[in-house]
Amino acid sequence: MNRQPVVIIGSGLAGYTLAREFRKLDGESALTIISTDHGGFYSKPMLSNAFAQNKSVAALLNKSAAQMADELKAEIITNAYVTSIDPAKRQLTLNDLTRCYSRLVLSVGADPIRLSLQGNGADAVLSVNDLDDYGRFRAAIEGKHEIVILGAGLIGCEFASDLAGAGYSVRVINPGTQVLGSLLPPQAGTFMQRRLEAKGIRFELGTTAQKVERVGDRLRLTLANGDAIEADAVLSAAGLRPRTSLAKAAGISVQRGIVVDAFLQTNLAAIYALGDCAEANGKVQPFVMPIMHGARALAATLTGNPTAVAYPHMPVTVKTPDCPTVIVPPEPDTAGEWSITEYEEGLGALFSGPDGTLLGFVVQGAATAEKNRLTQQLGHP
Ligand SMILES: Cc1cc2nc3c(=O)[nH]c(=O)nc-3n(C[C@H](O)[C@H](O)[C@H](O)COP(=O)(O)OP(=O)(O)OC[C@H]3O[C@@H](n4cnc5c(N)ncnc54)[C@H](O)[C@@H]3O)c2cc1C
């Protein structure tokens, strides 16, 4: 028996879901979780609908690292940055210490994409990708009123809706001319935009912020279209980039994310990747459901029962209460077309292939009642 522990780098949803699944199958083997952060367990999706509910950081923290260590019978090393991996020796380095592993799982997440902005206020632009970020942003907008969000993707729209729900005045700036442009057909984007506008959210589409300057304790943004906007705070929601540098330096194959096979194994023996940092079949899937399915399969693999991940259709729910939206996006570059049905209180968009097979859909408002029926109609993933 290998007495070195299974080591998981990262204490986010991927790291902790895997640890829980692992413990269901193996109550004894040594398990170590290493994290640069506090190591407490929280639900990241809650961060973009917590302002309207006035949730504090403490209210969002479900369990401390010590409680997680107890529950998982695991060693949890917090505030520790893994700086290198030596695959030949099955060792890693953190805080100038060397640790050994039997199997290693990289669940290191993704970094928010930093926009290149000019001006002496560029460093005041914040993003929210973890609980500490949420605390910082909450402190920055305490007692303030006007907020600009950079990006009208899923996270940008959710924060816009949540902050408007909390009483803030919100403007969203987006380079594309449509909200949720990578996930929705144009009519569904318009439906979402109208619903959010009805809540008081203003959109500046088809332009970008170029410069952010401090004006007293406020910020002035200069846009590419020449407009200038003032705000109390600016939140960037410009997307995420998988954290790959640690893996790359260790000789692990990296494209957009850390490349894994159907068993979530990298090109190197005994090293796996799961969550926002991983790329399988050319796709990074930065959502909870792929983590759940991946964690179950990887736990089986790590406990001696090699198991390939089989992903079912995984609908994405957009947490905009004024415009409930569920999406199963068609695979990129799939042949087919959208057909749209608009109802008084909703919209349904079906993406069908040349032979009529349903390959994806969007349901909004009252049409979300159809999500289970449509998911069942989809062909095999
Ligand atoms: C605001 C927001 C709302 C979302 N809402 C939804 C939703 O409604 N539905 C949905 O499906 N998905 C949603 N998502 C996406 C979902 O939350 C993520 O896919 C998921 O939480 C990613 O988990 P992870 O463990 O891969 O990454 P993370 O949670 O980012 O964890 C990464 C961990 O790795 C650690 N780490 C990184 N580098 C090192 C290192 N070198 N050494 C040691 N530790 C390291 C970090 O400290 C951290 O603990 C949302 C995301 C955001 C930001």
Please report the atom of ligand 1 found closest to the CA of residue 14.
Answer: 25
Give the nearest ligand 1 atom to 94 CA.
42
Q: Does the beta carbon of 284 sit less than 6 angstroms from any atom of ligand 1?
A: no
Residues with Cβ within 8 Å of 5's Cβ and at least 6 positions away in sequence, in order, are 29, 30, 31, 32, 75, 100, 101, 102
Distance from residue 141's CA to the centre of ligand 1 (Å): 23
Q: Which atom of ligand 1 is nearest to the CA of 48?
A: 1
Q: What is the CATH number of domain 114-236?
A: 3.50.50.60
Q: DSSP code of 254?
A: B
Tokens of 222: 């200069």
How many Å apart are CA 326 and CA 101, to the nearest integer? 41
What number does CATH give the domain 324-377?
Answer: 3.30.390.120
**With a 6 A CB cut-off, is 301 part of the ligand 1 pocket?**
no
Q: For residue 38, how far is its CA from the centre of ligand 1 (angstroms)? A: 14
The pLDDT of residue 313: 92
- Residue whose C-alpha is closest to residue 189's, from 286, 52, 327: 327
pLDDT for res 95? 81
pLDDT for the residue 331: 87
**Confidence at residue 381, expressed as pLDDT on a 0 to 100 scale:** 67
Give me the percent of the chain exceeding a pLDDT of 90. Answer: 96
Residue with tokens 């209180």: 345
**Domain ranges for the chain:** 6-110+240-302, 114-236, 324-377
**Contact at 8 Å (CB) between 295 and 264?**
no
Q: Is the CB of 319 under 6 A from ligand 1?
A: yes
365 CB within 6 A, ligand 1: no
Contact 285, 126 (CB under 8 A): no
Does residue 156's CB lie within 6 angstroms of at least one atom of ligand 1?
no
Using CA atoms, how far apart are residues 218 and 143, in angstroms rounded to an integer? 13
The mean pLDDT of 19-35, rounded to a whole number, is: 98
Residue 268 confidence (pLDDT) above 60: yes
- Residue 267 to residues 34, 117, 271, Cα–Cα distance (Å): 22, 37, 8
pTM: 0.96
**Nearest atom in ligand 1 to 16's CA:** 25
Counting ligand 1 atoms within 8 A of each CB, the residue from 9, 288, 317, 325 with the most, and so the one to mutate, is 288
Residue 13 pLDDT exceeds 90: yes
Exposure pattern of 173-196 as b/e (b: 16+ CB <10 Å)?
bbbeebbbbebbbebbbebbbebb
Does residue 335 register a pLDDT over 90? yes
User: What is the rounded distance in angstroms from the CA atom of residue 367 to the CA atom of residue 362?
Assistant: 9
- Note the maximum CA span of the chain: 66
> 6-110+240-302 falls under which CATH superfamily?
FAD/NAD(P)-binding domain (3.50.50.60)
| 44 CA from centroid of ligand 1 (Å) | 7
In the predicted structure, residue 379 carries a pLDDT above the cut 90? no
pLDDT tens column, 108-140: 999 999 999 999 999 999 999 999 999 999 999
Domain 6-110+240-302 shares a fold with domain 114-236: yes
Q: pLDDT at position 376, please?
A: 92
What's the 240 CA to ligand 1 centre distance in angstroms?
A: 10
Whether residue 2 has pLDDT greater than 70: no
Does 10 contact ligand 1 (Cβ within 6 A)?
Answer: yes
